[in-house]
Amino acid sequence: MNDKYFFDSNIIVYLYSEDEPDKQSIAKALLKKSQPIISTQVLSELANVLRKKFKCEYTEIAAVIAQVRVACQVATITPDTIENALTLAEKYHYSFYDSQIIAVALAENCTTLYSEDLQHGQVIESMLTIQNPFLGSMKPA
């Protein structure tokens, strides 16, 4: 079985953040490993961070979104995904939006969810392992 990787929004943001070069380097290494999967939610969150935090113009944001769409497979959030996210939120006690990320990763049959914000090492539904690639002892696989 080929492993499939899902990137949470923070991993994608670090690709474009020059404030933390170590995290940027790790995010770039993960991206080179394989074509990761992201969701439309990740694209939306990226656009919001680029505008609010990095003060990018909309034309710059559009160019970044186009780059990310080429580098990543983009999964669309569906009504079924939303329903599953609600179930996961109740079961695992994550926020709805974090659970929606998890729900899409599961729907796409991913084995690893790279995220800085979720519980490192947790296995969701006996299928998806959350990995924080920025932990000191961890290197991109």
The pLDDT, as a whole number, for residue 2 is 76
The pLDDT, as a whole number, for residue 83 is 98
- Label residue 127 exposed, middle or buried (CB < 10 Å: 0-12, 13-18, 19+): exposed
The pLDDT, as a whole number, for residue 141 is 47
CATH number for the domain formed by residue range(s) 5-131: 3.40.50.1010
Beta-carbon contacts of residue 133 (< 8 Å; ≥ 6 apart): 11, 26, 27, 30, 114, 116, 139, 140
This prediction has a pTM of: 0.91
User: Closest Cα to residue 128, out of 13, 2, 5?
Assistant: 5
The residue ranges of every structural domain in the chain are: 5-131
The pLDDT, as a whole number, for residue 1 is 52
Beta-carbon contacts of residue 60 (< 8 Å; ≥ 6 apart): 50
What does each of the 141 residues of the chain score in pLDDT, given as a tens digit? 579 999 999 999 999 988 899 999 999 999 998 889 999 999 999 999 999 999 999 999 999 999 999 999 999 999 999 999 999 999 999 999 999 999 999 999 999 999 999 999 999 999 999 999 999 744 444
